Amino acid sequence: MSTGPGSNFHLAVEGAYNASRMCGIVGIVGAREAVPARLIAAMRDRLAHRGPDGAGLAFSRDGRTAFGHRRLAILDPSPAGHQPMTNRARTLFVTYNGEIYNFRELAAELMVAGYTFSTRSDTEVLLAAWEHWGLDALTRFRGMFAFGLWNEETAQAVLARDRLGIKPLYYAVLDGTLYFASEATALLVAPDCPRDLDLTALGDYLAYGYVPGERTIWRGIRKLRPGHRLVFAGGEAKVERYWEPPAAPVPDGSAADPDALRAALEEAVRLVLVSDVPVGAFLSGGLDSSTVVALMSAAGEQVRSYTIAFETGASANGGSHAPSHSDVDYARLVAERYRTAHHERRLALGRAIEVVGRVVAAYDEPIADESIIPTYIIAEEVARDLKVVVSGDGGDEIFAGYRWYAKLDRIERRRAWLGPFATPLGWLGAWLGRARPSLARLAHQLELLGGPTLENYFRLVGYFDHARRAELLDPAHHAAMSDDALWLFRANWRPELPIVRRLQLLDLETYLPDDILTKVDRASMRHGLETRVPLLDHRVVEHALRLPIDAVYKDGEGKHLLRAVARELVPPPILARSKQGFGLPRAAWDRAGLMAFQADRLREGQLVRRGIVRRDAIERLLAHPFGGRQANRTWLLMVLDLWLEAHLG
């Protein structure tokens, strides 16, 4: 038995293989008539920023299914690794984005079964694995991936996305035809795809700061969720989950051995270093990225590390000021210890204001995370030198590092101590927050003391609840939104679990894929950069979630076992520092001019002109713009305003 990238007469490949951009995939499945080449090519080329190393098209024998691909060549950058790729029997073809890190091990297993390979590409191994194991091949893949696969014999298509949602995949089923792409905007090229907003999803954005779950901001377009596959045949789509994070710890506590965790981390780092091009690292100076850089350094060649520093000066031209953020100092400690080739990029207020519109426009959906700006800028810096970079993302979720874990744990204990007095304090806080906006901080603390844990989680990480949306929006727009602003959190809440484990799983299902990983994917792909995340290797995730709670969270502090592992790897000051978010120096920048920029945008921008929000509500919001969630709500609306201007004009 053999497989290989056979030359299908319906396969067309274009372009050279010497540039560097992230891969993009598109497809149309089961059209009523032959798919026009110009249509699938136009969808594909909407993703040209993801990969000009090569461009290809493939068509089924009847022409009613077509795949497109834009390529960033990381593994086997020769023309032999082009996509879409077919097997020799011409029964399967695939368009694929990502990296299957264990492809060499899978290839060895498949060779024993009689398969041969003619490239060094993981795509060829994916095809052989599918031919051999079928749908079960998904459970054998270790890495980050999103792909569409067509089977000529069964007239069936399968879409699949990696377990944690590192790689994106959007789809729409329109009049019995399946469309899919790496980014939602590529689907908008199709004439049948609606281009208007989904108001329910808009309400979700106002609540969460991102559009969560299967929904997207575009009506008719959906996301394939992490750990899910979609099987499409006969005009019908069936979505199935093939993996979910474990919730129960190992009964004997064996996973809590620091040596076992270190071995799992070392293996994950070794796997992400598999590449035919050089690999660098984001280095924030936090525990996660510092540990990753330490393990990368131990694995082989000198690491190229990259850090961003923020300047607090108000100079519009981004003049020289001392960095305000301590991350840069901690990053230097790691860089010096491991003698990395270290690069620092500074970001001043003037530069942030200059690029914010371009950054927001790079996202096919609005996302309110302020760190989209520094992430975009540091990706731009890295891409001058490299095509692949490693990050420490995921450590806060799997090792319970977010500050709100400890805060909610403390609040729950205080509520138990207050007993029946807790609820009236919450009522007082809710009234005070509306009657006295200047006392927002006090009102917030009282609401937390009086509220259940899930509602408190929303108060810490959310933006506009149902009541605030009603005050903000035009009534017609608000009426189209769900009354329950917390539906997503309720759907992923596990009340039977300890509070910290509940919060970990909630963030893994929501915040991580729909905010953090989306932010990193879009920022890096705009600069032709692939980002790899060893802490989200699914075996590392499974190991971490099988730890007893006191191994990850102890005495009010997260990452307990990770610190034990890192004690031998990172400088002591990094172990001692408290959790720092990767965000802008907002307090200083807001007062130096950023808030004024936001106010000008909101008073005359798209939200007011389109009648989505009420002008008087904007003025009330801007009357007390500084501090806490109020400043974050202003930022969220500014991002939405810029996004509407970029995508809807």
- My answer on whether 237 and 310 are in the same domain is no
Can you give the pLDDT at residue 326?
A: 60
> What is the mean predicted confidence (pLDDT) over 173-180?
97
- My answer on whether 75 and 97 are in the same domain is yes
User: Which residue from 639, 113, 590, 37 is spatially nearest to 370, judged by alpha carbons?
Assistant: 639
> What is the mean predicted confidence (pLDDT) over 198-219?
96
CA distance 555 to 410: 11
Check: CB of residue 25 under 8 Å from CB of residue 95. yes
> What is the mean predicted confidence (pLDDT) over 549-558?
90
Q: How confident is the model at residue 22 (pLDDT cuts 50, 70, 90)?
A: very low
Can you give the pLDDT at residue 254?
A: 67
Check: CB of residue 32 under 8 Å from CB of residue 170. no
Can you give the pLDDT at residue 120?
A: 83
Q: Any residues with CB less than 8 A from the CB of 427 and at least 6 apart, and which? A: 450
Q: Any residues with CB less than 8 A from the CB of 338 and at least 6 apart, and which? A: 293, 294, 297, 303
Q: How confident is the model at residue 514 (pLDDT cuts 50, 70, 90)?
A: very high
Can you give the pLDDT at residue 100?
A: 94
Residue 200 lies in a domain: no
Residue 565 lies in a domain: yes
> What is the mean predicted confidence (pLDDT) over 275-284?
87
- My answer on whether 549 and 636 are in the same domain is no
Domain count within the chain: 3
**100 three-state secondary structure:** strand
CA distance 434 to 98: 48
- My answer on whether 296 and 234 are in the same domain is no
Q: How confident is the model at residue 343 (pLDDT cuts 50, 70, 90)?
A: very high
> What is the mean predicted confidence (pLDDT) over 374-380?
94
- My answer on whether 31 and 143 are in the same domain is yes
Q: In what helix (H) or strand (E) does residue 567 lie, and over which residues does it extend?
A: none
Q: Any residues with CB less than 8 A from the CB of 429 and at least 6 apart, and which? A: 442, 443, 444, 445, 446, 447, 448, 449, 450
Burial 599-611 (b: 16+ CB within 10 A, else e): bebbeebbbbeee
Can you give the pLDDT at residue 403?
A: 92
Residue 192 lies in a domain: no
Ranges assigned E (strand) in 546-648: 553-554, 557-558
Can you give the pLDDT at residue 277?
A: 76
- My answer on whether 277 and 385 are in the same domain is yes
> What is the mean predicted confidence (pLDDT) over 546-561?
91
Residue 117 lies in a domain: yes
> What's this model's pTM, rounded to 2 decimal places?
0.91
**HEC readout, 521-556:** HHHHHCCCCEEECHHHCHHHHHHHHCCCHHHHEECC
Between 282 and 1, residue with greater pLDDT = 282
For the domain that residue 63 is a member of, what is the CATH number?
3.60.20.10
Residue 422 lies in a domain: no
Q: How confident is the model at residue 313 (pLDDT cuts 50, 70, 90)?
A: low
Residue 339 lies in a domain: yes
- My answer on whether 572 and 615 are in the same domain is no
Q: Are strands 388-390 and 279-282 parallel, antiparallel or unpaired?
A: parallel
* For residue 378, pLDDT beyond 50: yes
Q: What is the CA radius of gyration of the chain?
A: 25
Amino acid at 356: V
Q: How confident is the model at residue 3 (pLDDT cuts 50, 70, 90)?
A: very low
For 225-229, 291-295, 539-543, 623-627, which range has the lowest pLDDT when averaged over its residues? Answer: 623-627
CA distance 368 to 366: 7
Can you give the pLDDT at residue 585?
A: 87
* For residue 558, pLDDT beyond 60: yes
Tokens of 433: 């927050």
Helix extents (H) in 113-257: 122-133, 184-187, 199-208
Check: CB of residue 180 under 8 Å from CB of residue 27. yes
User: Which residue from 79, 81, 86 is spatially nearest to 103, judged by alpha carbons?
Assistant: 81
Q: How confident is the model at residue 414 (pLDDT cuts 50, 70, 90)?
A: confident
Of 584, 604, 630, which marks where a domain is finished? 584
- My answer on whether 517 and 637 are in the same domain is no
Residue 181 lies in a domain: no
- Name the residue range of residue 636's domain: 585-649
- My answer on whether 237 and 92 are in the same domain is yes
Of 181, 208, 241, which marks where a domain is finished? 241
- My answer on whether 526 and 633 are in the same domain is no
> What is the mean predicted confidence (pLDDT) over 458-485?
90
For 343-357, 505-519, 572-586, 601-615, which range has the lowest pLDDT when averaged over its residues? Answer: 572-586
Q: Any residues with CB less than 8 A from the CB of 410 and at least 6 apart, and which? A: 556
Residue 99 lies in a domain: yes
> What is the mean predicted confidence (pLDDT) over 439-445?
76
pLDDT, the chain, mean:
88
Percent of the chain with pLDDT over 70: 91
Can you give the pLDDT at residue 317?
A: 40
Of 241, 276, 294, which marks where a domain is finished? 241
Number of H helices, E strands in the chain: 30, 20
pLDDT 10s digits, 115-162: 999 888 899 999 999 999 999 999 999 999 999 999 999 999 999 999
pLDDT 10s digits, 242-274: 999 998 777 666 668 999 999 999 999 999 998
User: Which residue from 211, 515, 458, 450 is spatially nearest to 467, judged by alpha carbons?
Assistant: 458
User: Which residue from 470, 460, 456, 511 is spatially nearest to 203, judged by alpha carbons?
Assistant: 470
- My answer on whether 289 and 389 are in the same domain is yes
Can you give the pLDDT at residue 392?
A: 96
* For residue 434, pLDDT beyond 80: no
- My answer on whether 156 and 55 are in the same domain is yes
